[in-house]
Amino acid sequence: MTPLRRALRTLALRGHEGPYRRLCRPGGGEWADMLRERGDFRSLGEHCYIDPWALIEGRRLIAIGNNVRIATAALFTHDGSVNMINRAFGLKLDSVGPIDIRDNVYIGYGVIVLPGVKIGPNAIVSAGSVVRSDVQEGDVVAGIPAKRVGRLDISTAILKAKNAKFPWRELIEQRAGEFDASIEGELTRLRAEYFYQRK
């Protein structure tokens, strides 16, 4: 890690995350590690990926398990409309709820998670969904509001069968971790050739 990157990460650990996010462009794993070290969440497990541009409000009311992937999504633990209601009707109400994301969960791009929701374990929330009620263990959900559209075990079996036919399968087996710079160029070439080859 360069001295500048180390200095910006130290600033982020002290609450000034903007320069670190903009200048260092950390990956989701690095970002999650920084947030864990900083102690932002109720809990944050291991092997997590949180997109640095995800909007996560009320982090102290959010518990995240192990192996959770959060794309550029929005998680809210407060309902902001309560402020309008309070002013309009002369009230002093609160509207808040925790978010509990269990182990092995993927939250896709553009997902909105509302207060008081539990997700998983072993669940997928498809891109663009709005989650306003619990996502049960093993479910794949999609839509507005999010509803069950499948099961993770079936989706995994389909993905395994599809992958067995890819001509780059051997490279994937050799991959060191989730990304291996030494083979990514060849993977990209083989994928493009496979999907766009002339017949």
Within a domain: 102: yes
115 and 59 co-located in one domain: yes
Q: pLDDT by residue (tens digit) across 96-153?
A: 999 999 999 999 999 999 999 999 999 999 999 999 999 999 999 999 999 999 999 9
53 and 147 co-located in one domain: yes
The side-by-side arrangement of strands in the sheet containing 130-131 is: 55-56, 74-75, 112-113, 130-131
80 and 99 co-located in one domain: yes
Can you give the residue range of the structural domain that contains 170?
A: 166-199
8 and 25 co-located in one domain: yes
What pTM value is reported for the model?
Answer: 0.90
Within a domain: 95: yes
**How far is the C-alpha of 30 from the C-alpha of 51, rounded, in Å?**
9
108 and 130 co-located in one domain: yes
**How far is the C-alpha of 131 from the C-alpha of 145, rounded, in Å?**
6
Count how many domains the chain has: 3
